[in-house]
Amino acid sequence: MGTSLKARWAAGEVTLGAWCMIPEPLTAEALGRAGFDWVLVDMQHGCMDYETALAMIRAIDLTPALPIVRVPWNDPGIIGRMLDAGALGIVIPMIQTAADAKRAVDACLYPPKGRRSFGPIRVGMRDGPGYFMDANARVAVVPMIETPEALANVEEIAAVPGVDALFVGPFDLSIALGLPPGDNDGKPAFDAAIAKVSAAARAAKVATAVLSNAKVAPLRIEQGFQMISTTTDITALSMAARSDLEAVKAAGKKES
C-alpha cells in the first residue's frame, strides 16, 4: 500500500479523492485507477451493504488509491468490521462532542491508544502479520463536523488524541446554519464556520477534510484543506453521459 494519508498530511500534502455512492466494485476500481489519492466508500448515504463495501475495498486495493470508508454512524461494530476489511481511514458522521470523538478513536485504534478488537482477517491477508504493529500509524480517524453542537465543541474535538482530521460536511452544516444544503461560500455564517473548523484544526495540528467538487476544490486548497473529494461516482457518470448525449444531439442538428 502507498504512504498513509496521515503521513502525507503531516508532510503538508493535499490529497484528492473520489466518493462512491454506487454499490459496485468495478466503479470503485475505475475511480482508483483514475489517479485519485483515495477512494471513499460511503456506507452512510451510499447504496452498499457490508459485503458490497468489502468487495469495493478489495477492488480499490487493486489500484494505487487508498480505501476509505464513511461508516453509517459512530458505532464500534461497523467501524471495526470496515477496518478489518481493509479500510485505511474511517470518516465518522455526526460527531457532536469530544466524548463522541474519543469513542470513534477507541473504535479505530488498537490498545493502548484505543479499544479496537483484534481480528484482522481480511486485512491481515492483504498486509501480512505486520499489520497489527503498523495499523495505528496508518489508519486515519476523521470525525465529521456538521452540526451546531459540533461547531461549538470543535476545539475540544480536534484536541482528542488520535483524531487525524476534521471533516466538514457542507450539506448538513449548511442546513444547521439555516442555509440550503451545499457550498455556501460568501454567506457569513458558512464562511465563519469554515474558518472556525480550520482554526481548531491548525491549533491541534490535525488536517481538515471536505466533500467538494471540481469547481469549489481549488478554493478549499487555498483554505488549507488536505483531504478533498472532487467528484462522486454518480455525479461523474451522470455528467459524462449527459455531455456525450448533448454533443451527439448537437452534431445531428448541424448535419440536418
Query: pLDDT tens per residue, the chain (256 residues)?
Result: 679 999 999 999 999 999 999 999 999 999 999 999 999 999 999 999 999 999 999 999 999 999 999 999 999 999 999 999 999 999 999 999 999 999 999 999 999 999 999 999 999 999 999 999 999 999 999 999 999 999 999 999 999 999 999 999 999 999 999 999 999 999 999 999 999 999 999 999 999 999 999 999 999 999 999 999 999 999 999 999 999 999 999 998 887 6
pTM: 0.96
Return the percent helix, strand and coil in the chain, to nearest 5.
50, 15, 35
**Is residue 39 within 8 Å of residue 253, measured between CB atoms?**
no
pLDDT for 256 equals 66
User: pLDDT tens, 111-128?
Assistant: 999 999 999 999 999 999
Question: Coil, strand, or helix at residue 114?
Answer: coil
Predicted pLDDT of residue 254: 80
**Burial class of residue 243, CB neighbours in 10 A (0-12, 13-18, 19+):** exposed
3-state secondary structure 2-48: CCCHHHHHHCCCCEEEEEECCCCHHHHHHHHCCCCCEEEEECCCCCC
CA distance 232 to 223: 21
Secondary structure letter of residue 169 according to DSSP: -
Residues with active-site annotation = 45
pLDDT of residue 184: 97
pLDDT of residue 229: 98
